[in-house]
Amino acid sequence: MSSINDSDCLQAYFEQQNDTEAASIVAAVMALLPSHIHTDETEAELEAETEDIDTQEDAEQDQLMEYIDELNLHVAALETDLLTKESEIAALKEVASKWRSRALEIESNYHQLDIQSRRKLKSMQKRHEQSLEEKDNMIVYLKNKVDYLIATQQQYQDSVESEIYDGESDTDEQEWSSLTDNYQKELQPGAILDSIQDTMRAIEQELNFHALQSTAYNEPQPNLQDHTGPVDFGLSSSTIVDCSMTEKANKKKSFMHRMIKRGFSNNVPAANDVLVPETLLKKNKADAKAAEAAAAKKAELRKASTEQTMKIRVIEENS
């Protein structure tokens, strides 16, 4: 009752203040108050409202529980995802740590290899420098050796030529004197006649021997008159000579032919002359062959020395 009176007083107050709007609001509020509604209707309405509120609350609670369940499911899924991500992160961390350790190991190996390669390069450079130095020393040594060999060979050739010249001059003089003495003895008239007589005796003995052989085998006698004329047997009148003279003539050296040519360049008889012994002609041929062989050998020595010098020059140019 006091509340009603208060509301009435408020409405009267707003009316007195000519505030119709406020007065109307107070009247509407007062109309809504339970004191102005019948009790039966009010209770039914209240029960209905409470039921509605309960149903709404139950529905909201059910929705809330469903939402909570969904949230729990999402949370569980997120937790599983989080666990998988954490496991992946741990695996990636492990892989990263392995790769990092591998990279550090590779880097350390690289530094070691770099140091070793630098040391090897330095040692190779030193060895190369040493080999170049040894090569230069070897080239210098070979040049000096070649110069020494060339000088020694030249000295040897000079000494050999001088010795050959001296020896030839000495032996030429000695053997020339003995050869001229023997040749003058052979050219004496008595010796020539004796040689001719000996040759004729030998020819007669040979003819008689052939005649005896022809009579023994009942062959016709050879006509001796056919042999009375000049018969050429391919031999000179001095063919039959003492064996000692032949051996001595065969033992003469190569310079005898040169000495004979020097001494008898205008007076040496021909091969068909009876005054020239056959052994001298053979000796002259042997001396000529020996002289040709000596000249060929000397040419070969000069050619070999020239080739050796050219090879040495080529080696020096290539080095």
| pLDDT one-digit tens code per residue, 98-125 | 999 999 999 999 999 999 999 999 999 9
Instruction: List the one residue out of 95, 235, 114, 256 whose CA is nearest residue 172.
Output: 256
Give the model's pLDDT for residue 296.
Answer: 75
Full domain range(s) for residue 153: 140-195+241-318
Q: Number of structural domains, the chain? A: 1
**Measured distance CA(251)–CA(182) in Å, rounded:** 14
**Measured distance CA(309)–CA(263) in Å, rounded:** 41
Give the model's pLDDT for residue 275.
Answer: 39
Instruction: List the one residue out of 228, 224, 208, 206 whose CA is nearest residue 216.
Output: 208
Q: Which residue has the tokens 């990092």?
A: 100
Is residue 270, in this structure, part of any structural domain at all? yes
Q: Please say whether the beta carbons of 278 and 239 come within 8 A.
A: yes
Give the model's pLDDT for residue 102.
Answer: 92
Is residue 43, in this structure, part of any structural domain at all? no
**Measured distance CA(280)–CA(151) in Å, rounded:** 42
Token pair for 224: 């001796």
Q: How many CA atoms lie within 13 A of 227 on its CB side?
A: 14
**Measured distance CA(190)–CA(200) in Å, rounded:** 15
Total residues found in the chain within this entry: 319
Give the model's pLDDT for residue 107.
Answer: 93
**Measured distance CA(161)–CA(167) in Å, rounded:** 10
Give the model's pLDDT for residue 58.
Answer: 80
Is residue 12, in this structure, part of any structural domain at all? no
Is residue 297, in this structure, part of any structural domain at all? yes
Q: Please say whether the beta carbons of 236 and 156 come within 8 A.
A: no
Give the model's pLDDT for residue 95.
Answer: 92
Report the predicted TM-score, pTM, of the whole model to 2 decimal places. 0.27
**Measured distance CA(8)–CA(16) in Å, rounded:** 12
Is residue 229, in this structure, part of any structural domain at all? no
Is residue 233, in this structure, part of any structural domain at all? no
Q: In sequence order, what are the residues at sequence separation of 6 or more whose Cβ sits closer than 8 angstroms to the Cβ of residue 259?
A: 172, 175, 176, 179
Is residue 63, in this structure, part of any structural domain at all? no
DSSP 34-51: GGGS-HHHHHHHHHHHHH
Q: Which residues of the chain have pLDDT under 50?
A: 1-4, 36-40, 187, 217-281
**Measured distance CA(120)–CA(117) in Å, rounded:** 5
Token pair for 131: 């080999």
Is residue 267, in this structure, part of any structural domain at all? yes
Q: How many CA atoms lie within 13 A of 190 on its CB side?
A: 1
Give the model's pLDDT for residue 305.
Answer: 66
Rounded to whole angstroms, what are the CA distances from 100 to 85, 86, 105? 21, 20, 8
